[in-house]
Structure 1
């Protein structure tokens, strides 16, 4: 699951308009969403999906890094030096120019090409407000990496990597912590010569990675690799300077896009922030936001921003927990009614077919024995059989939080002000609305009321891919089944209230441990002692 940063739509449109002059015209399409045939073809030939990608992502060098990176500067920074010929990794031979005095030399033309690509990716992540984590295990450059990350407002990790830092953050840190949107490795090998464990963890969590790969390193599992020298302070200083410039260019472009969106917005957008109950106080937890829009018009009219609780909409993306919920919902209602009859239950066969002895045939007591045609079954299915079981409350609640987090991170969760008593009941209106807002092939509307009136109720009967559900029916299977989930403001408040009540209630979520006032219980235990005012030591 690729993590996506939620951005204001006005800012995205403003940024796309800023780069439209740099982007070549793309063929026009009748819909902004590809059909199923195009998606199936895109899995084999990705170029067919190019018309559906935003203009800013199609530009190969949007931030003009070709003029920033020079081969002579890389040569002076000793980027071309590798390790000894005997230690070269077979997967890095393609990036080598040759060898001199037994030392491998990188082809700086290839290094420049891959470095420009990595810098553009870092700038895109920074432009979208992403979090970048700089990682190194080289003791000679660890302080430079920390200082560089701090200068651009990003994060760094230069100490010993604790296993599960990315894959088990909730258990290690005790709160819903936002994972980085990209991890940049200034050295991909540990002091033991093995691949950095954070590379595997980032790959498991679908976090894109940038890695400076030396001649003795393995580029496996890296998203963007830069073949270069990762040992000397000169090369690391040059690479850090390039990455800092990429982050700054992305941040500057983001500021310009926000200013353009603010100045060009025709309607005044109100700020609908609210106080979140038991919001984590950690500086590493960022409060997610979502636009509140209206369904009165086909175009996505923004009414304001609303804060989302990080414990629900920034939960750790535990795919295993989500899989347990989906499996449970798929099988717990199944009942097998098949009942295969035994020999005693089959009709007929009461007479012994032939004598017990002196016939040369096997001893048989009934023609309804399992070895005969139309005989009974020895170990058949004895229905009705059920696969019913109940998941623990903690797993079900965490599964809902994971599903909501994934939907919001993938920009498939939207907030509207109201779905009751809407005027337009024409199905064509709702089809155009879903296409204009990129809702996809199926949409689920969630409201706190279980009775729906108005235009949406009439149109929903003619559109089977559009469904409405109350809050008390929300489940993981429905959240994953539908391409887009639309919540009303009242449904959002009710969902957060119910989930947070169970997440933060006293005692474990196991039902056999019910809530009790432990302070009162301890004080009552002192009544039979000599000094009732002094509670016993527990």
Structure 2
């Protein structure tokens, strides 16, 4: 069973966390990864590019000159494609680029990336990610304390939105903050290191391991956190 070290915000190792084998310990499926990444990038295209054919260009209703006797080729309109200001032949038209991928394939791709991050020690788990005030310097100091994060692109996945964390990372070009419900393959692959609290890890295991919905997983994580807080008190 895969495991990882849990750090506090001071960069100190506090415990060892066992991870779900079916989420963080699978063999990466490169074929599925390629399909999901391709589909996600294709689905970002709006397909709004448009050109006008000769029937859509304004003007050109009058025959430019008579049919015979001029020595030139016969023409019926100055909006034909060979004329300046004429229509475009086989130009782009608005259309949908959507590429659908089955839900099981999307989830397998997420598990493949997360397993690869764990295998290469590029997943950093902390007990809690929170800042008292929004300050970029504090976020830079925090990131510098974690191993294997210096000079790399870091993605922080939060179990719930924290305005102080979002604002503190906003001006750092190598750092990005996202809610865990927006987790996707492209963002995971774009960033070298993934930083997430323990609550995020449990949410991912419930959704991608046990197949719960995002809402049910969020409720269960909150209940687990409340129960653990009550037992500590």
Q: TM-score range by the shorter chain?
A: 0.7 to 0.9
Within 1, Cα distance between the matches of 2:171 and 2:74? 67
1:464: Cα distance to partner?
Answer: 3.5
Q: Deviations over 1:351-375 (max 9, x none)?
A: 1112222333222111111111221
Please state whether the residue corresponding to 2:33 is helix, strand or coil. helix
Query: Is the contact between residue 369 and residue 376 of structure 1 (CA under 8 Å) also seen in structure 2?
Result: yes
1:428: Cα distance to partner?
Answer: 3.1
Structure 1: which 5+ residue stretches go unaligned? 1-286, 504-538
1:491 equivalenced with 2:200 (yes/no): yes
Query: Is the contact between residue 329 and residue 477 of structure 1 (CA under 8 Å) also seen in structure 2?
Result: yes
Query: What is aligned with 1:394?
Result: 104
TM-score of the superposed pair, with normalisation by structure 1: 0.37
1:461: Cα distance to partner?
Answer: 3.1
Larger Rg: 1
Query: Is the contact between residue 446 and residue 471 of structure 1 (CA under 8 Å) also seen in structure 2?
Result: yes
1:408: Cα distance to partner?
Answer: 0.8
- Residue 148 of structure 2: which of 428, 433, 438 is its match? 438
1:466: Cα distance to partner?
Answer: 2.1
1:67-216 alignment, distance < 5 Å: none
Within 2, Cα distance between the matches of 1:471 and 1:323? 22
**Higher RCO (CA 8 Å, separation ≥ 6 residues):** 2
Please state whether the residue corresponding to 2:112 is helix, strand or coil. helix
TM-score of the superposed pair, with normalisation by structure 2: 0.82
1:7-406 alignment, distance < 5 Å: 287-295=1-9, 297=10, 300-382=11-93, 384-406=94-116
Q: Deviations over 1:106-152 (max 9, x none)?
A: xxxxxxxxxxxxxxxxxxxxxxxxxxxxxxxxxxxxxxxxxxxxxxx
1:433: Cα distance to partner?
Answer: 3.6
1:487: Cα distance to partner?
Answer: 1.5
Within 1, Cα distance between the matches of 2:110 and 2:54? 49
Please state whether the residue corresponding to 2:209 is helix, strand or coil. helix
Query: What is aligned with 1:481?
Result: 190
Query: What is aligned with 2:127?
Result: 417
1:417: Cα distance to partner?
Answer: 0.9
1:376: Cα distance to partner?
Answer: 0.9
Please state whether the residue corresponding to 1:502 is helix, strand or coil. coil
Query: Is the contact between residue 139 and residue 169 of structure 2 (CA under 8 Å) also seen in structure 1?
Result: no
1:400: Cα distance to partner?
Answer: 0.2
Residues 1:368 and 1:462: Cα distance change in structure 2 (over 3 Å): closer
Query: What is aligned with 2:210?
Result: 501
Within 2, Cα distance between the matches of 1:457 and 1:348? 54
Within 2, Cα distance between the matches of 1:335 and 1:485? 29
Query: Is the contact between residue 20 and residue 209 of structure 2 (CA under 8 Å) also seen in structure 1?
Result: no
1:486: Cα distance to partner?
Answer: 1.0
Q: Deviations over 1:267-305 (max 9, x none)?
A: xxxxxxxxxxxxxxxxxxxx000111111x2xx211111
Structure 2: which 5+ residue stretches go unaligned? 213-233
Query: Is the contact between residue 333 and residue 386 of structure 1 (CA under 8 Å) also seen in structure 2?
Result: no
1:471: Cα distance to partner?
Answer: 1.6
Query: What is aligned with 2:171?
Result: 462
Q: CA RMSD in A?
A: 2.0
Query: What is aligned with 1:32?
Result: none
Within 2, Cα distance between the matches of 1:433 and 1:470? 19
Name the count of aligned residue pairs. 210
